[in-house]
Amino acid sequence: MKNIFIKSTHIFIIFFVIITSFNCSFADDYEDNATIDVNAEISETITQTTDTLEPSSINSRSCIVYDRNSHMILYGKNETKQVKMASTTKIMTSLIIIENCNLSETIEISQKAAGTGGSRLGLKTGDKITIKDLLYGLMLCSGNDAAVALAEYACGDIQGFSELMNNKAHELGLTNTHYESPHGLDSDGHYTTAYELAVLSDYALKNETFARIVGTKNYTVTINGYPKNLSNTNELLGYLNGVYGVKTGFTNGANRCLVTACKRNDMDIICVVLGADTKKFRTQDSIKLIEYAFKNFTYIDANELAINSFNNWKNENLKYIDINKSSSTSFDFEVRTCENSILSINKNDVGNIETTISINAYLEAPISSNAVIGNLTITLRDQTLMSLDIININDINRKNIPYYLNYFFSNYSNILEQILKY
C-alpha cells in the first residue's frame, strides 16, 4: 500500500512538473482567450482621455509612446528597463527573413518545427509551405512552429538564427536587447526594453513587405495545397482609428505585451506595452497611451523656428560683430538647417520653447565659407531639443601685404593729405 502511495505521488509530481513546464512555454495569447469588446474599450477610454497620464493609471510594467517622425519619447514608464518580450520577438524574426531570404521558396517542415508548443500555425512534419505564408503564420497567429521553421530554413538551427538576430540588434544600436530564440519563449538571456522594441519596430515598418504583413487583418495561407484562414491576434487592428500593426505577445514570464503602430494625419507613433496583467489591461493601456498622444501632442518645425529666430537676432546684432583683420567690407551668417527638423511637443509646452543664440562678438579673419562660428539651441524647460550650427556664408579673407599696398596706392592722396596736416 505504501509503495502504491509513493508511486502515485511520484506520478503526480512528474505530471505536475510536465504541466507546469508546458504552461510556461506558451508564447502568445494561447491561454488568454478572453473576449474583449474593443469598441466599448475604445469608447470609454477616449471619453476619459486627459491632458495628463499618471504612471499609476497604466497597468503595464513598462511602456512607451515613440514618435516616428521626431524620434522623440512622448510618454514612458520604465521604458529602458530590461524585460522579457514574448512573441514581440517575432518582429525581429520576420525582419531577418524578409531582408535575407527568398519569400517565394517552398520548404518542408521538420519534426522539430512541427513539435514546437505554444501558439501555433498548426504545422505537421513533412508539410510544404512557402516562406511568405510562414511569415503570415508567424505574425498573424504568432506561430511558434513557423518561427522555428523559418530559423531552420535561414540558418539550420535556432542558435545560428539567434546570432543573426543579435547581430542585427547590434547593427541597430539596440544595446539592451538580446535574443536566444526566434519565438520568444521565456529564457533569462532573452530580453529587450520598451524603448528598443519601439526603435526596432520603427525600423521594421520602413520595409514595405513587413508593414503589409503586420497590417493584414485576415489572410489565407496554403499548406500542402490546401487553404487555411488566419486572423491577426492584434485586437486593435481594424478597430482603433489609424492602427496599422504590429505584434502581440504573451508568456507567463513576460505577461501580456502589445506593440502598436498608429497614424492619424501627419502624426505617426509606436506604442509599446509590456507586462500587462491581463489582455484587457493590455488593450486598455494601449488605447490610453495612443489617445493621450494624439490629443496632447503637436509637431513643430525646428528649421522654421530656428530660421525665424536667427533672422530676428541678426537684424539687431550683426552690426555689432567685429572681424579683426578682415579684408571684406561686409559679411553674413546663417543657421545650418537639419534634415529631420520635426519636434513633437506637448501642446501646453509650445509657448515655453526658447531659442538661444551664441556667437562670439569678436572674430578673427580669415574665415572660410561654411565655417561654424556659433550655434543656435532650442530648449524646453532647460532640456535641449535641438542644437544647430551657425555658419559663415562667404569667405572672409585676412588683410595681407598686397591688400595694404593696394589700399595705400588707392588712397595715396588722402593719406598724403593727412600726413601734411601734421
Q: Is the domain of 201 the same as that of 280?
A: yes
Mean residue pLDDT of the chain comes to: 89
Q: Classify strands 322-324 and 362-364 as parallel, antiparallel or unpaired.
A: parallel
**pLDDT (tens digit, 9 = 90+) per residue, 326-351?**
777 778 899 999 999 999 999 999 99
Distance between CA atoms of 164 and 181, rounded to whole angstroms? 11
| pLDDT at 175 (0 to 100) | 98
Domain-embedded: residue 361: yes
Which amino acid is present at 30? Answer: Y
Least confident segment among 61-75, 170-184, 358-372 = 358-372
For 116, which DSSP code? -
**pLDDT (tens digit, 9 = 90+) per residue, 317-326?**
988 888 887 7
**pLDDT (tens digit, 9 = 90+) per residue, 202-224?**
999 999 999 999 999 999 999 99
Domain count, the chain: 2
Q: 412, 418 in Cβ contact below 8 A? A: no
Q: 75, 57 in Cβ contact below 8 A? A: no
Q: Is the domain of 209 the same as that of 289?
A: yes
Residue 240 has φ and ψ, to the nearest 5°, of: -85, 130
pLDDT band for 403, please (50, 70, 90 cuts).
Answer: low
For the question of residue 90 being annotated catalytic, the response is yes
Q: Classify strands 62-67 and 267-276 as parallel, antiparallel or unpaired.
A: antiparallel
**pLDDT (tens digit, 9 = 90+) per residue, 294-323?**
999 999 999 999 999 999 999 999 888 888
| pLDDT at 401 (0 to 100) | 52
| pLDDT at 41 (0 to 100) | 86
Distance between CA atoms of 65 and 70, rounded to whole angstroms? 12
Domain-embedded: residue 415: no
Which amino acid is present at 359? Answer: I
- Higher pLDDT residue, 138 or 329? 138
For the question of residue 87 being annotated catalytic, the response is yes
CATH of the domain at 385: 2.60.410.10
Catalytic residue from among 87, 286, 309, 326: 87
Q: Is the domain of 137 the same as that of 51?
A: yes
**pLDDT (tens digit, 9 = 90+) per residue, 239-298?**
999 999 999 999 999 999 999 999 999 999 999 999 999 999 999 999 999 999 999 999
| pLDDT at 47 (0 to 100) | 78
* Full domain range(s) for residue 292: 19-297
| pLDDT at 126 (0 to 100) | 97
Catalytic residue from among 90, 247, 288, 314: 90
For the question of residue 8 being annotated catalytic, the response is no
Q: Is the model's pLDDT at 1 over the cut of 50?
A: no
Domain-embedded: residue 241: yes
Catalytic residue from among 110, 142, 181, 286: 142
Distances in Å between the Cα of 400 and the Cα atoms of 116, 362, 408 are 80, 19, 12
2: CB partners within 8 A, 6+ apart: none
Q: Which three cell numbers stand for residue 327?
A: 579684408
Domain-embedded: residue 112: yes
**pLDDT (tens digit, 9 = 90+) per residue, 150-192?**
999 999 999 999 999 999 999 999 999 999 999 999 999 999 9
User: What is the full DSSP assignment across 176-201?
Assistant: T-B-S-SS----TT-BB-HHHHHHHH
Q: Is the domain of 101 the same as that of 250?
A: yes
Domain-embedded: residue 10: no
Q: Is the domain of 266 the same as that of 334?
A: no
Distance between CA atoms of 300 and 308, rounded to whole angstroms? 13
Which amino acid is present at 286? Answer: S
Distance between CA atoms of 221 and 237, rounded to whole angstroms? 19
Count of residues in the chain? 422
Distance between CA atoms of 10 and 2, rounded to whole angstroms? 12
Domain limit, last residue, from 253, 281, 297: 297
3-class SS at 330?
coil
> What is the percent of the chain with per-residue pLDDT over 90, rounded to a whole number?
73
Q: Is the domain of 286 the same as that of 350?
A: no
CATH of the domain at 127: 3.40.710.10
Q: Is the model's pLDDT at 407 over the cut of 80?
A: no
